[in-house]
Chain A
Amino acid sequence: MGFLRRVWRLISANGGIYSWLTLIAILALYPLLTPSGAALLTATQLFMLITVSSNWNLIGGMTGYVDFGHAVFFGIGAYLMGILVTVVPDYILFSPQLGFWQALPLAGLGAMVFALLIGVPTLRLKGPYFSIAMLGTFVAMREIIRLLKPFTGGGEGLDLPPVLNRTRDYYFMLIFMGVVVALMWWIRRSEFGHSLLAIREDEVGAEMRGIDTTRHKIIAFMIAAFFTGVAGAFWAFQNTYIDPDVVFIEQRTVEMVMSSMLGGLGTVWGPPLGAFILYMLQDLVWANFYNLHLFILGVLLIFIVLFVPEGIIGTLGDRSSTSLGRLLSRGFNRGERTMEERA
């Protein structure tokens, strides 16, 4: 009996990741039905939203440092891709077609280095400075890209070599999403992930227990930036055109925040579920009230934060997130302020 129970515990504990891999395998069969290019593109975009939301959740949900400018890494990735395949001479890249694969990890690395540069001053501090500094980073980066005209084309943007292949895009994004979410699952259960949760719950306490909080926060931030940068680079190539106003849009960050909040902040399966629901919801809102859709998103965000702060997964009773729920719904008396004073 004891053995059976242990087997059951193993299956139920790992059930999520097995279901996830099965889902990826099923989705991999979809292009065999010869769907239209538009359907493949829609699916690819949903996968991308799931990927970037999971990354946002790593820093925003698991570590508890809300990033209001995470789309900046998407933008940096997109621009590094654009610069690498257009401005940089051929001898660095193999060819426009193969250069794409070469530029993807480079764009991610660029975003990661930028995350390090931003993270060192802002994540050293406890409290809300990081959140607002990231909002600032986002707003400033759009203008900086405009100012760096020789590289970025300024407001006119950059045209990338059009290499359209929707099936390739679909498979790339599917595998990328599968790997990133599986990695989040692994991080959530690793010692590193537990340290991140400890930082979220009680940063000073985590420090007392010997966790190097600054290092952990910066590493989590860099991981999140890397994958978001790769996603941005991929998007730039798929879109074949970038300029500051299509790359640096607030909506991207809003969608990441919304997906994670809707599904369950700090959970592994929250962002994928939230992103899926948000995508369906946006479709509905888009079809009926195109102009108002961001207004509706903003109001919805306020309602979720106030009334279901744990999101769908958290509310349905995933044990792992209840402590966060308590933290969010408990009215503790300016606990954060005293932390700030110690900082």
Chain B
Amino acid sequence: MELLLQALFNGILLGGYYAVMVLGFSIIWGVMGVINLAHGEFLMIGAYGAWVLFRVFGIDPFLSLAIIMPVMFGVGYVLQRVLINRVVERPHLISLLVTFGLSIALANLFNVIFTADPRTVPVSYNGSFNILGMTVPIVKTMILGLALLIMFALHVFLQRTRLGRSIRAAAQNKNAARIVGVEVGRVYAITFGIAIALTAAAGAMISPVAPIFPFMGPPFTLKAFTITALGGLGRIPGALLGGMVLGLVETLLATFVPGVGTNVGIAASFVLLVLVLILRPQGLLQGLRPMEVE
């Protein structure tokens, strides 16, 4: 019983992280129709950013978000203008191939710069305390809190601000948005920037509790796709639901199936994905559709 409660709690912590990790992937797909296969690589870049800032300047990984997010927003903005904009209106085949090439190039570039040795960010408060017989890991709880905060802020931004409304308009109907005066090109670039900043932030957040290495990306891309398949595109509640399902399944499997170790997450995520595609290809909520039907 205690084991079950602990597993459920860990699953929720992991699920919250997955929910914030998937946002960037889900926004880019939902708004631009581009599936970003380099998602995990941007997460990896964020993690390395946190590692460099911690090693060189001693900046805490959670504080370093204030530096990493604006920088990665700029990177995303420029990348959309230079590269992604050329493939937005072309068939999926093209954007898949381009982002696949990007993911290979980025992972191997970082492999050359930082070598394949796994890095860690050893923060001083990385420990845990006990409440009611349950172990509460400090960093992971902070990650969950921050994840919820980010999701709330993004929700307010998309619903309440003018720019957020422009993004939703461009996602729903590009041509109509253009007619009513939305600069779709600029909105796409900003959206991509925001998505990349969120993804890199997710990478920086996980840096105290996960090893950082150049090829850490692909499992995250796979998990992002699974969560999107579970929860639907571009929806924050969907991301939360999908993330929680994956987080709980992963943790419960790792706790109760003997001998599977830590790699069970990827296998579990894959099996879940195939199950979703067989049973409910439209997803658990509204599923794999654009944000609104055009």
B94 to chain A, nearest CB (A): 6
- Bound complex: CA A123 to CA B288 (Å): 15
* In the complex with contacts A305-B101, A328-B91, A132-B37 CB distance below 8 A: yes
Say yes or no: is A70 at the interface (Cβ < 8 Å to chain B): no
Say yes or no: is B35 at the interface (Cβ < 8 Å to chain A): yes
* In the complex with contacts A136-B225, A328-B90, A335-B91, A292-B108 CB distance below 8 A: yes
**In terms of DSSP, what is the predominant structure of the interface of chain A?**
helix
A294 to chain B, nearest CB (A): 4
Residue of A nearest to B271 (CB): A140
* In the complex with contacts A139-B218, A295-B112, A337-B267 CB distance below 8 A: no
How many chain B residues have a CB neighbour from A under 8 Å?
Answer: 54
B78 to chain A, nearest CB (A): 15
- Bound complex: CA A191 to CA B167 (Å): 46
Say yes or no: is A263 at the interface (Cβ < 8 Å to chain B): no
Say yes or no: is B93 at the interface (Cβ < 8 Å to chain A): yes
Say yes or no: is B293 at the interface (Cβ < 8 Å to chain A): yes
Contact, CB under 8 Å: B294 / A139: no
Within 8 A of A (CB), among B271-294: 271, 273-274, 277-278, 281, 288-290, 293-294
* In the complex with contacts A68-B37, A136-B269, A302-B83, A309-B94 CB distance below 8 A: yes
- Size band of the interface chain A makes with B: 35 or more
Say yes or no: is A207 at the interface (Cβ < 8 Å to chain B): no
B163 to chain A, nearest CB (A): 22
Residue of B nearest to A64 (CB): B93
Contact pick for B274, options A121, A306, A329, CB 8 Å: A121
Within 8 A of B (CB), among A318-337: 327-337
Contact pick for B97, options A257, A329, A331, CB 8 Å: A257
0 or 1 for each of A285-315: is its CB under 8 Å from B? (1 = yes): 0000001101101111110011001000000
Residue of B nearest to A328 (CB): B94
Binds B, one of A102-110, A143-151, A223-231: A143-151
A contact residues around B108 at 8 Å (CB): 292, 294-295, 298
Contact pick for A140, options B37, B221, B266, B289, CB 8 Å: B266
Say yes or no: is A219 at the interface (Cβ < 8 Å to chain B): no
Say yes or no: is B134 at the interface (Cβ < 8 Å to chain A): no
B277 to chain A, nearest CB (A): 4
B contact residues around A254 at 8 Å (CB): 104
Contact, CB under 8 Å: B98 / A302: yes
Say yes or no: is B4 at the interface (Cβ < 8 Å to chain A): no
- Bound complex: CA A143 to CA B260 (Å): 10
* In the complex with contacts A133-B273, A143-B266, A334-B294, A301-B93 CB distance below 8 A: no
- Bound complex: CA A331 to CA B85 (Å): 11
A120 to chain B, nearest CB (A): 8
Within 8 A of A (CB), among B228-275: 229, 260-261, 263-264, 266-267, 269-271, 273-274
Contact pick for B294, options A120, A133, A146, A337, CB 8 Å: A337
Contact pick for A301, options B35, B100, B221, B270, CB 8 Å: B100
Contact, CB under 8 Å: A336 / B92: yes
Contact pick for A306, options B98, B225, B277, CB 8 Å: B98
Say yes or no: is A167 at the interface (Cβ < 8 Å to chain B): no
A334 to chain B, nearest CB (A): 6
Contact, CB under 8 Å: B289 / A340: yes
A contact residues around B111 at 8 Å (CB): 291, 294
Within 8 A of B (CB), among A53-76: 64, 66, 68
Say yes or no: is A172 at the interface (Cβ < 8 Å to chain B): no
A-B pairs, top 3 by smallest CB distance, nearest first, are A298-B105, A140-B270, A301-B101
Residues of B within 8 A of A (CB): 33, 35, 37, 83, 86-87, 89-94, 96-98, 100-109, 111-112, 174, 218-219, 221-222, 225-226, 229, 260-261, 263-264, 266-267, 269-271, 273-274, 277-278, 281, 288-290, 293-294
